[in-house]
Amino acid sequence: MRFWCEMLDPSRQALRFAFVGIGSTALHVAIASFLIEVGRADAGAANGIAFTIATLASYLSNSIFTFRAPLAGGSLMRFVVVALAGLALTVAITSAIQSAGYHYLVGIAAVVFTVPALSFWSHRLWTYRARSPAG
């Protein structure tokens, strides 16, 4: 019953999703910075590792705190698909805006105002939607 009450209040979930996103971003930055500065890792490899760890932390936090859903292999796979789609969309948006001759901050602003919202609704409507026992 609590799951359905939460599903009826997207504003509460969106706020929780934003908090988790900020935390996951901070975790990504901390891990990447540590690997680069202390571990002398390549920036690309460090960010790949940081992205993976932050995505898993985000899945755990969003499952428990935001959507109050059980941890399950299916929802994890859907979460990863949405995260990778968000990454691809981020690259596409920033590349297109830079190719059009705009300052890179315009691309970042476009990403900040679109990708998190699309990710939230994708998770809400697909990753964590209520499923029947058969599916």
* Domain boundaries of the chain, sorted by first residue: 2-127
Tell which residue, 44, 45, 70, 48, has the closest CA to residue 59: 70
pLDDT per residue of the chain (135 residues) written in tens, 0 to 9:
555 555 558 999 999 999 999 999 999 999 999 999 999 999 999 999 999 999 999 999 999 999 999 999 999 999 999 999 999 999 999 999 999 999 999 999 999 999 999 999 999 999 999 765 555
What distances in angstroms separate CA 86 from CA 2, 5, 6, 35, 49, one per listed residue?
A: 28, 27, 24, 24, 17
Cα end-to-end distance, the chain, whole Å: 19
